[in-house]
């Protein structure tokens, strides 16, 4: 570290869980994980995507809408006070019922005093075999932004968002020091070679967001087999150079607590000034879905 940069450590925790059918059991398991992380000194703790249930989007079934919760609801009523009790920032991903017939894949951010610091609604909604999320979720309308908390400025994106560099960039440009990606991703019935390549790509794309933007990235994934998906876990934290600081296993519940030195952001951006050298005058076509031959 450069002599003129001062260390500023933030302890980040993530909870990697296997989920059951019973939503209350999953909530209590999350509470245990959060308490475990706080006992290890965590100041910001992130749960996995849709932590309160099994991953129901493998099928299109209207009965699954009963899993949704309002804000306030079971998650916020339990975990807001817990954030205050433990003086931690909590990232709580939920299946949000916004209004009659309107649902989102969302994440509530509680500040360390238990107040609601922000809400993010998943912007990119997949529709693939085994991941029929468009049946359940409307696209988010919160945009990409940093959320101010007691322990730093955090950006929250969710699962499918992690494949899109535009979302990471805009969140970083809004001041985020951390990109948190609550996730539910795993293998379907592919051969071992394809499965290994997919997991490697998932890790690489998120590490690249750290490198390109000079921020910390935190990915919290689930584990266990749920119907046709074997969730691969491997939750991790990486620094602004894309180095993995800690990573969970692919088959066990785990709580990771990792020291993140915010001074590394300044140090890395000085050495690799990607934000300085962006050509914002030349990027107008990024607002286009695709460039046809006559547009190039």
Percent of the chain's residues with pLDDT above 90: 93
- Residue 238: active-site member: no
Say which of 122, 203, 226, 267 is annotated catalytic.
Answer: 122
Going by pLDDT thresholds of 50, 70 and 90, the confidence category of residue 5 is low
pLDDT reading at 239 higher than 90: yes
Going by pLDDT thresholds of 50, 70 and 90, the confidence category of residue 1 is low
- Residue 24: active-site member: no
Determine the pLDDT at residue 267.
Answer: 96
Going by pLDDT thresholds of 50, 70 and 90, the confidence category of residue 295 is confident
Percent of the chain's residues with pLDDT above 70: 98
Determine the pLDDT at residue 294.
Answer: 77
Angle between helical axes of 192-213 and 165-173 (0-180°, round to 10): 30
* 240 contact partners, CB below 8 Å, separation of at least 6: 210, 211, 213, 214, 215, 216, 264, 265, 268, 269
Query: What digits encode the pLDDT tens for the residues 148-190?
Result: 999 999 999 999 999 999 999 999 999 999 999 999 999 987 7
Determine the pLDDT at residue 189.
Answer: 73
How high is the mean pLDDT of the chain?
95
Say which of 19, 159, 238, 260 is annotated catalytic.
Answer: 159
Query: What digits encode the pLDDT tens for the residues 31-59?
Result: 999 999 999 999 999 999 999 999 999 99
- How far is Cα 168 from Cα 158, in angstroms, rounded to an integer? 11
- Residue 159: active-site member: yes
For the segment 187-195, the average pLDDT, to the nearest whole number, is: 83
Query: What digits encode the pLDDT tens for the residues 76-97?
Result: 999 999 999 999 999 999 999 9
Q: For the purposes of burial, counting CB atoms within 10 Å of the CB of 292, is it exposed (0-12), middle (13-18) or buried (19 or more)?
A: exposed
- Tally Cβ neighbours within 10 Å of residue 194: 11
Determine the pLDDT at residue 292.
Answer: 86
SS (H, E, C) the chain: CCCCCCCCEEEEEEEECECCCCHHHHHHHHHHHHHHHHHCCCCEEECCCCCCCCCHHHCCCHHHHHHCECCCCHHHHHHHHHHHHHCCEEEEEEEEEEECCEEEEEEEEECCCCCEEEEEECCCCCEECCEEHHHCCCCCCCCCCCEEECCEEEEECCHHHHHCHHHHHHHHHCCCCEEEEECCCEECCCCHHHHHHHHHHHHHHHHHHHHHHCCEEEEECCEEEECCEEEECCCEEECCCCCEEEECCCCCCEEEEEEEECHHHHHHHHHCCCCCCCCHHHCHHHHCCCCCHHHC
Determine the pLDDT at residue 273.
Answer: 96
Determine the pLDDT at residue 270.
Answer: 97
The pair of three-digit structure tokens given for residue 18, joined into one six-digit string: 């296997």
pLDDT reading at 107 higher than 80: yes
- How far is Cα 261 from Cα 246, in angstroms, rounded to an integer? 14
pTM, full prediction? 0.96
The full set of domains in the chain, from first to last, is 9-295 (3.60.110.10)
Say which of 29, 49, 96, 254 is annotated catalytic.
Answer: 49
Determine the pLDDT at residue 3.
Answer: 53
Determine the pLDDT at residue 148.
Answer: 98
Going by pLDDT thresholds of 50, 70 and 90, the confidence category of residue 4 is low
């Amino acid at each position: 570290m450069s002599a003129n940069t001062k260390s500023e450590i933030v302890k980040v925790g993530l909870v990697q869980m296997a989920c059951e059918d019973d939503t209350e059991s999953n909530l209590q398991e999350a509470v245990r994980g959060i308490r475990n992380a706080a006992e290890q000194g965590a100041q910001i703790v992130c749960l996995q995507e849709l932590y309160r249930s099994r991953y129901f989007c493998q099928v299109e079934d209207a009965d699954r809408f009963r899993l949704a919760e309002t804000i306030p609801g079971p998650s916020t009523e339990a975990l807001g006070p817990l954030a205050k009790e433990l003086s931690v920032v909590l990232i709580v991903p939920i299946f949000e019922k916004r209004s009659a017939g309107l649902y989102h894949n969302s994440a509530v951010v509680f500040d360390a005093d238990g107040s609601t610091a922000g809400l993010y609604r998943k912007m990119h909604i997949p529709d693939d075999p085994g991941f029929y999320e468009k049946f359940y979720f409307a696209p988010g309308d919160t945009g990409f932004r940093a959320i101010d908390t007691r322990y730093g400025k955090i950006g929250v994106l969710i699962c499918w968002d992690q494949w899109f560099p535009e979302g990471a960039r805009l969140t970083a440009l809004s001041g985020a020091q951390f990109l948190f990606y609550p996730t539910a991703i795993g293998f379907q019935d592919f051969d071992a070679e394809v499965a290994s390549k997919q997991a490697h790509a998932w890790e690489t794309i998120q590490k690249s967001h750290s490198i390109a933007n000079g921020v910390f990235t935190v990915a919290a994934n689930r584990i266990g087999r749920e119907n046709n998906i074997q969730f691969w876990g491997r939750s991790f934290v990486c620094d602004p150079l894309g180095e993995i600081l800690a990573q969970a296993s692919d088959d066990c519940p785990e709580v990771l607590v990792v020291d993140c030195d915010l001074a590394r952001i300044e140090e890395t951006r000085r050495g690799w000034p990607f934000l300085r050298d962006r050509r914002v005058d030349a990027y107008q076509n990024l607002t286009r879905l695709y460039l046809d031959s006559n547009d190039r």
